[in-house]
Amino acid sequence: MKPYSLHFKAEKMELDASTARARVDRAKHEIQGGWFDNKAIRRNYFSIDKIHFGYQPPHRSRVIRKPAEKDAWWNVNPQKRSKKQRQQEAKNRKARGEQPSVHAIGIVGYNYKSPFLFYKIPGNVTGKMTSQIYIQLLKPLLKHLEDHYSHRDFILWEDGDSSHRFTKNNVAYKWKKRNSYKFVRNVHNSPKTNWIESSVKRLKSYIRKYFFDGEAQLKELVQESWNGLNQEKINNDLDSMPQR
């Protein structure tokens, strides 16, 4: 029997000119300001991110095979379902209040990991954040951070999502300014310069090891994965920022 092997298609991402300029400008700004050279300053940054975990209906496994072997006799293929069956499954999930994905948000920093909050966006299954929901989630997360350090001198490191865009008319932006929170935005299309992304990779790598059936089991697994994140690795991720 021919040995089984996985086949992954490598994706090459091109760096556009605006992203390249933004990365250079940010690097110059960080160097001039000594953002990450000084450990005391570096460890005052805390990274926040929204994380999405998708899942398929029960008994639909995602297996990647070599194209030439996907229909070979030694491979087991899932039973195909008709369009009518898929539509009925979608109706059943909707009736149970389930969505085809689970969304959560959390904060990591030096010697710190926040509670992991699950959220849903009404009428939206993709988890695209809104400013109002973002504020609702920020309130308990930042309260936990303040209680942990007994101050609010920390700096929140955010991505460039439109729900908290750095514009004077953005509701979340105005709320943070009004409440005297400090924050910076990560360069767009640059996940490597946001150290929480390393934790996200560990989360999803852990979850891929296990079978789960539906939203409830996935949430349980996600929470288990978050609780198990190694704090020393998170600290190392932050300390690696000068090299990123």
Residue 129, pLDDT > 80, answer yes
* Separation CA 36–CA 38 (nearest Å): 5
Across 18-27, 59-68, 142-151, 159-168, least confident range: 59-68
Task: Give the residue-averaged pLDDT of 221-236.
Answer: 94
Across 17-21, 88-92, 215-219, least confident range: 17-21
Task: Give the residue-averaged pLDDT of 88-94.
Answer: 72
pLDDT in tens, 171-208: 999 999 999 999 888 877 777 778 899 999 999 899 88
